[in-house]
Chain A
């Protein structure tokens, strides 16, 4: 049984939330560089130039990439042969998040749903914990902004609608959202599972880098097919027109009930704030 100290979790999480908000994920930066070359609209190329400049400035000055430093979402894989000493896992992650958001001058964006009173320290974090084999602790962090989260959807399709129904829902929804979620976006698509599992699959799909195709060739092909249909909409960077509306489609699938076809679309803006650490 391996022991991990809660104080190490606090320290690592505090550092990772700040880093993620200042340094754009490398695969996303590379996609922005490539998109600037292939974008057909002049306004679109101009936007990509601004995003490159913004990423360089954030890295150099320590200012967050975006003022919306998000709700803190964590996906945790806890090895079964690993125990936490000196405090709880959730408490450690939450405390590290609080410290990082305070010391790193990140915005506190969490409030009561109805009174709208700010909790003051960006807590609570959204923490998903999975038990896995082994003795390691892996923590993935996603700072999820409100603009793109508001443009996310979950629906229960009829099984007869199949893949065509999935594509229609996604394409129509991206068209309706237009400029609102800060395109170019990344689309996390959860297909199957249950009502609550589909959006978790969709959010987890956003963790897979853009330069890493789905391990199953058929799903990788579906991702490319859906990406092409979304980009054919011509919405473009910031909705000003162009051929790059979406930088990548990431699909996660799971078996579902014989009566159901759950579908979730988790929209991620171009400012992907994502870090992972292994303890």
Chain B
């Protein structure tokens, strides 16, 4: 039976440990945005021994490239992008303390293994509900530090978001579970 949780980011080990596939989570607190180009930069920074623009310990990364913010709002439309493109980078980030990622779509075996090995979780938010999800974001600021090799990446910039009751679904938990439906093929 799936459960509902309210959690605060950054996440603690016990927050993640209790979650099972199908659980619903309302997440509040500070999370970070990064998609394709930012992930490449994060890994380059790690390889070069440089500091990352945000602490990985307990961190939640949201795969999103928001649309520009209208006046009076912190952010534009802000739904998840497809996660598999980040699969090559994700296990290393989990090994360094990343507790959760938010996206949409399937993760590869290496990521699912990394979730189990590092007590981490993969959440999905509803794809194509960017206007709706935007309402749960209270603040946003770009934290692209040029001295760390993060020039302005435009829609792909690293942002710090303050979210309140951001609606998520556990699709891959820290215990090897997978929520997605298996297609019923005839042969």
Contacts and interface: CB of A to CB of B under 8 A. Distances in A.
Interface residues of B, number: 41
Interface residues of A, number: 49
A199 to B, nearest CB: 20
A64 interface: yes
A155 interface: no
Contacts of A241: 181
Given A67-B66, A178-B105, A239 B180 contact: yes
Nearest to B153: A118
B65 A50 contact: no
A180 B129 contact: no
Contacts of B37: 116
A232 B184 contact: yes
Interface stretch (A74-82, A88-96, A100-108, A127-135): A100-108
Contacts of A43: 169
A51 B125 CA distance: 12
B1 interface: no
B124 interface: yes
A105 B70 contact: yes
A157 interface: no
Nearest to A22: B131
B67 A107 contact: yes
B179 A240 contact: yes
B105 A66 contact: no
Nearest to A24: B128
A220 interface: no
A64 B128 contact: no
Closest CB pairs A-B (n = 6): A175-B183, A241-B181, A180-B105, A182-B127, A63-B131, A67-B77
Interface of B: 36-37, 64-70, 73, 76-79, 81-82, 84, 104-106, 124, 126-132, 134-135, 153-156, 169, 179-181, 183-185
